[in-house]
Chain A
Amino acid sequence: MMLSGWGRFPRQLCRTHRPADEAALAALVAEEEGPRIARGNGRGYGDCAMQRNATIDMRGFARMLAFDSECGQLVAEAGVLLADVIATFLPRGWFPPVTPGTKFVTLGGMVAADVHGKNHHRDGTFGRFVDWIDLMIEDGTVIRCSPQENAELFAWTIGGMGLTGIILRVAFRLRRVESAYIRQTTIPARNLAEVMALFDAHESATYSVAWIDCATAGLGLGRSALMLGEHASPAELSRTRRAAPLRALPRAVRKVPVDLPEAALNRLTVKAFNALYYRNARAAAGTTIVDWDSYFYPLDAVLEWNRIYGRRGFMQFQCVLPMEGAAEGLTALLKAIADSGQGSFLSVLKRMGAQHGPFSFPREGYTLALDFPFSERSAALMERLDAITLDHGGRFYLAKDARMSAATLSRSDPRSETFAAMRAGAGLGRFRSSQSERLGL
């Protein structure tokens, strides 16, 4: 089957399997002699959940198994979608402790990428809320991994991009919420220095993220809109919402019906979109109450939004720069983008908290996420962005990557060699994705 990630680049012909139950999966894993990798809902952007020899579709494992309403621990199979967790538990007053920018991810994928959200600076990654994982290893046996049992494998599996085995079941803790609404405060910032100062000033906010204009150079370089969020209490809601504070249904979704022509996204439309977004953010400055779906998942309202980039797809770039030198590094990255005239449509800046986990992406500093329609020019720009990131001691998010070189990975992240050695030592070398082969992991 022809597979690609959410960015629709690269595309590869992969032999895919969809085992119906654990016995079938175990037989497949034990008998398959070549490389194999698990795949969830295909929301990783590049080739992290693809393997030509054997890609194992885990969406058949989608059952929730147990919930402890005292501590909020949910035990569920790896193929359960985050959207289903929210649909089931938000009406009962529980919400995911950490969520990425889409709810159409599987729990297995969330563990494998050790996803972060707008609360990373305070709460860390999803992995910090995972109590245990059932992992199927090389010979098809299943072992329980937790901080107490098989602790090393547990640690490397969180953020391990599926390279330690097949994540079968996950136990993690939801957080209590009083309502399905978020109190959102939008603060415009005229340039990079301003937005960085705002992140510092609002360190105690539960959620914080900035949309950043990547098409504007000069004095307005890095102009952005910082969006803070807090779970709203019922008292803050309008009278109608207060009557059922936990019952905000997902919004109706629209679908991008066709691939847009590549010309639809060009220098002018990107610039116009970014300018418009900034103006809107300035106009919307202040505090409003928004429902959970609009706040956390604005893009989910448009199904298959990746099609706006046309048939050739798009590439994401996400790096994190350590605090020291972050301002210079971000300035250099933004300048390179503005100079290239290829401003990205959706550019996001976020202050990150401390690092957890031996191979997880986040570390203390600033992360910048960008997307570019696929072209030779944007590929060249991304090479430049790689170099600037390396110069400033940064590293890259593998869930977004589709094109980095092995040399760039090893220069950016010395942990990759330790990881490769750990996998070789534990006999886990046959869990390999197209991405891990490209990166020499």
Chain B
Amino acid sequence: MTSPPVLIIGARSDIAMALARRYAAAGHDLQLAARASEGLAADAADLALRHGIKASVHELDILDTASFAAFLGGLPTLPDTAICVVGLLGDQPTAQSDPEAAALIMRSNYEGPALLTGMIAERFAARGHGTIIGISSVAGERGRASNYVYGSAKAGYTAFLSGLRNRLAASGVHVMTVLPGFVRTRMTAGMPLSPALTAEPAAVAEAIVAAAARRRDVIYTKSVWRIVMAVIRAIPEPIFKKTKL
């Protein structure tokens, strides 16, 4: 007896794999989508064997927006829950001087995720139910010198999810925005992260699944970030612009 299928977009990331394990353990079939997806075949086999579920792998390039309709048409079934975990941190100094690099960050974190999430939302709305979970970032809460190209794209995605949630509130489609702080993953490997502010991927996955079950709207996966970001947002701009955060 399997539970309704879950689509994970950007499935090769550490947070995505933690989510996959968590949902598989609860008996959900999985649809894993990513670029260079052949590397996911072994992960899909492992999840299927360990948890007695079905796991399929789907090729998806988040920059190839023209392929999204065919991608969604190729899924074995329209999932009940779709989670977009796609993210590209990029390099801020490079992005400041190289518009190509900046555009890649913007398209990877905003254009692709927003367009695909929107298309899934249309299909969920037509069906009358479904849950969309978008992984955005605390970096989108206020632009900072150290990562504002990434942050601005995440801000855009956060706003898109907010609008989508507002529009679909009466439709039976739930939209949840996830704002992880630091997470110990390959994306952050080598960065000096404060342990008090850093979560493990498995804890992030657990928080997401629990919040989705309660139909929460916006969550910080580690609650200390709610306070941290409230403070950061409250600092008046004349002061904020002189800080180094």
* Cα of A21 to Cα of B49 in the assembled complex, Å: 20
Contact, CB under 8 Å: A88 / B50: yes
Q: How far is the CB of A66 from chain B (nearest CB, A)?
A: 6
Contact, CB under 8 Å: B50 / A20: no
The contact string, 1 if C-beta is below 8 Å from chain A, for chain B 132-176, is: 000000000000000000000000000000000000000000000
Q: Does B46 touch A at the CB level, under 8 Å? A: yes
Contact, CB under 8 Å: B46 / A65: yes
B7-54 at interface with A (beta carbon < 8 Å): 39, 42-43, 45-46, 49-50
Q: Does A279 touch B at the CB level, under 8 Å? A: no
* Cα of A64 to Cα of B41 in the assembled complex, Å: 11
- With CB as the reference atom, state the residue of chain A lying closest to B39: A21
Q: How far is the CB of B210 from chain A (nearest CB, A)?
A: 23
* Cα of A87 to Cα of B51 in the assembled complex, Å: 10
Q: Does B186 touch A at the CB level, under 8 Å? A: yes
Most buried by A among B45, B46, B186: B46
The contact string, 1 if C-beta is below 8 Å from chain A, for chain B 183-214, is: 00010000000000000000000000000000
Q: How far is the CB of B18 from chain A (nearest CB, A)?
A: 14
Q: Which A residues have a C-beta under 8 Å from some C-beta of B?
A: 20-21, 62-67, 77, 84, 87-88
Contact, CB under 8 Å: B49 / A67: yes
How many residues of B are in contact with the other chain, CB < 8 A?
A: 8
Q: Which B residues have a C-beta under 8 Å from some C-beta of A?
A: 39, 42-43, 45-46, 49-50, 186
- With CB as the reference atom, state the residue of chain B lying closest to A92: B52
Contact, CB under 8 Å: A88 / B49: yes
Asked, given contacts A84-B50, A88-B50, whether A65 binds B39 with beta carbons under 8 Å apart, the answer is no
- With CB as the reference atom, state the residue of chain B lying closest to A23: B39
User: Residue B46 contacts which of A20, A21, A64, A87 (CB distance < 8 angstroms)?
Assistant: A64
CB-CB < 8 A to B186: which residues of A?
A: 20
* Cα of A8 to Cα of B114 in the assembled complex, Å: 52
Most buried by A among B39, B42, B43, B186: B42
- 11 A-B Cβ contacts within 8 A? A63-B42, A63-B43, A63-B46, A64-B45, A64-B46, A65-B42, A65-B45, A65-B49, A77-B42, A84-B50, A87-B50
Contact, CB under 8 Å: B45 / A66: yes
Q: How far is the CB of B92 from chain A (nearest CB, A)?
A: 24
CB-CB < 8 A to A62: which residues of B?
A: 46
* Cα of A67 to Cα of B42 in the assembled complex, Å: 13
CB-CB < 8 A to A87: which residues of B?
A: 50
Q: How far is the CB of B202 from chain A (nearest CB, A)?
A: 14
CB-CB < 8 A to B50: which residues of A?
A: 64, 84, 87-88
CB-CB < 8 A to A77: which residues of B?
A: 42
CB-CB < 8 A to B43: which residues of A?
A: 63
* Cα of A64 to Cα of B46 in the assembled complex, Å: 5
* Cα of A87 to Cα of B50 in the assembled complex, Å: 8
- With CB as the reference atom, state the residue of chain B lying closest to A67: B49
- With CB as the reference atom, state the residue of chain A lying closest to B42: A63
Q: How far is the CB of B133 from chain A (nearest CB, A)?
A: 25
- With CB as the reference atom, state the residue of chain B lying closest to A91: B52
CB-CB < 8 A to B42: which residues of A?
A: 63, 65, 77
* Cα of A64 to Cα of B42 in the assembled complex, Å: 8
* Cα of A64 to Cα of B51 in the assembled complex, Å: 11
CB-CB < 8 A to A63: which residues of B?
A: 42-43, 45-46
* Cα of A20 to Cα of B12 in the assembled complex, Å: 12
Q: How far is the CB of B173 from chain A (nearest CB, A)?
A: 34
Q: How far is the CB of A68 from chain B (nearest CB, A)?
A: 11
CB-CB < 8 A to A66: which residues of B?
A: 45, 49
CB-CB < 8 A to B49: which residues of A?
A: 64-67, 88
* Cα of A309 to Cα of B186 in the assembled complex, Å: 37
* Cα of A357 to Cα of B49 in the assembled complex, Å: 31
- With CB as the reference atom, state the residue of chain A lying closest to B50: A88
- With CB as the reference atom, state the residue of chain B lying closest to A66: B45
- With CB as the reference atom, state the residue of chain A lying closest to B52: A92
Q: How far is the CB of A65 from chain B (nearest CB, A)?
A: 5
Q: How far is the CB of A177 from chain B (nearest CB, A)?
A: 18
* Cα of A36 to Cα of B226 in the assembled complex, Å: 46
